[in-house]
Amino acid sequence: MTFKADLHCHTNHSDGSFTPQELLNLAKKIGLSGLSITDHDTIAAYYDNIFDLAKKLNLQLLTGVEISSEFNGVSIHVLAYNVPLNSKLDDFLQLVREKRYQRNRLIIEKLLSKNMVITEEELINLAKENQQGMTVIGRPHIAKLLLKKGYVRSIQEAFDKYLKKGASCYASGSKFSTIEVIEKVHEVNAKAILAHPHAIKEKKVINDLLELPFDGLEGYYSRLYLHEEKKWIEIAEKKGWIITGGSDFHGDFKPRIPLGCSWVSDEVFNELQCL
């Protein structure tokens, strides 16, 4: 059987709807051989006794996280792989999460100014229905709450009307710079990968990002068109960068995207795993 590893997915420790255990079981069921859980700004899933389950399922697990950053005013996600547990990266991620809470407050204020009343407490309660332990709350949770309270008819409508960049209630918040994030990732000998570069629309920003000391970029992504993937693969190959890939599975938060719809071979998986 072909080795397939999905290197980008979210659990209910951030804005996915599956528990880490459910995600591992699903990965096995659909025939994946490897997986990396990449929650936003937390590696809590890996403290959830999942290595024993992975072993039982004969599934290879690569530690990972998707870290929020900012480059010249543009929001950039940095995927980190082979992240050591109980390292100083945990302390850094805590700081990243604190910035996220502040940003959520800004978005809540903007919604209030448009007479959409949601409170931080309601947001925490909604997240707790879905999450266990530590909470990383983001725009998908805000979207779900707006839906629950009848302000919009779908999560997508919430993003399109209010929450996406440029929409009336968007707030970027303050984030660590992409360069700083790459440095923190390298300090613990993990790999720093530019996530879904096709989603960055500003050409100058892309060109400048490609000059940063990333180890690779995410060339295979979700349901990206083949010609788009080809573009990023060629760029990465020229630079000698690792080309990663994954579905960006979020469960119910993005119901149209199945786990395993993008994946990498054992060659890439092993390259990321070795120090």
- If one asks whether residue 144 binds ligand AMP (CB under 6 A), the answer comes out as no
- If one asks whether residue 70 binds Fe ion (CB under 5 A), the answer comes out as no
The residue whose Cβ lies closest to ligand AMP is: 138
Q: Which of 4, 8, 13, 40 is the binder for ligand AMP (CB under 6 A)?
A: 40
Q: Which residue, among 182, 16, 14, has the nearest Cα to 89 in the 3D structure?
A: 182
Q: Which partner, Fe ion, ligand AMP, Zn ion, none, binds residue 139 by CB below 5 to 8 Å per kind?
A: ligand AMP
Q: Give the burial string for 101-117 (b: 16+ CB within 10 Å, else e).
A: eebbeebbebbeeeebe
Three-state secondary structure of 194-245: ECCHHHCCCHHHHHHHCCCCCCEEEEEECCCCHHHHHHHHHHHHHHCCEEEE
- If one asks whether residue 139 binds Fe ion (CB under 5 A), the answer comes out as no
CB 21 to ligand AMP: min, Å = 21
The tokens describing 161, both together, are: 């009307």
Q: What is the dihedral of CA 205, 210, 212, 215, to 10 degrees?
A: 140
Q: Which partner, Fe ion, ligand AMP, Zn ion, none, binds residue 164 by CB below 5 to 8 Å per kind?
A: ligand AMP
Q: Which long-range contacts (CB under 8 A, 24 or more apart) does 132-135 make?
A: 132/12, 132/13, 132/19, 132/48, 133/13, 133/44, 133/48, 134/13, 134/42, 134/44
Under rule CB under 6 A, which residues in 161-190 are in contact with ligand AMP? Answer: 164
CB 164 to ligand AMP: min, Å = 4
Helix (H) / strand (E) element for 105: namely helix 88-113
- If one asks whether residue 138 binds ligand AMP (CB under 6 A), the answer comes out as yes
Please give the size of the binding site for Fe ion, defined by CB under 5 A. 4
Nearer to Fe ion, 7 or 32 (CB): 7
Q: Which of 5, 35, 54, 77 is the binder for Fe ion (CB under 5 A)?
A: 77
- If one asks whether residue 13 binds ligand AMP (CB under 6 A), the answer comes out as no
Nearer to Zn ion, 100 or 271 (CB): 100
- If one asks whether residue 248 binds Fe ion (CB under 5 A), the answer comes out as yes
Q: Residue 77's beta-bridge partner residues?
A: 68
- If one asks whether residue 250 binds ligand AMP (CB under 6 A), the answer comes out as yes
Query: Which residues contribute to the site for Zn ion (CB under 5 A)?
Result: 15
DSSP string, 3-26: --EE--B--TTTT-SS-HHHHHHH
* DSSP 8-state assignment for residue 264: B
Nearer to ligand AMP, 54 or 146 (CB): 146
Nearer to ligand AMP, 40 or 191 (CB): 40
Under rule CB under 6 A, which residues in 49-78 are in contact with ligand AMP? Answer: 68
- If one asks whether residue 140 binds ligand AMP (CB under 6 A), the answer comes out as yes
Q: Please give the residue ranges that form the binding site for ligand AMP (CB under 6 A).
A: 15, 40, 68, 138-140, 156, 159, 164, 250, 254
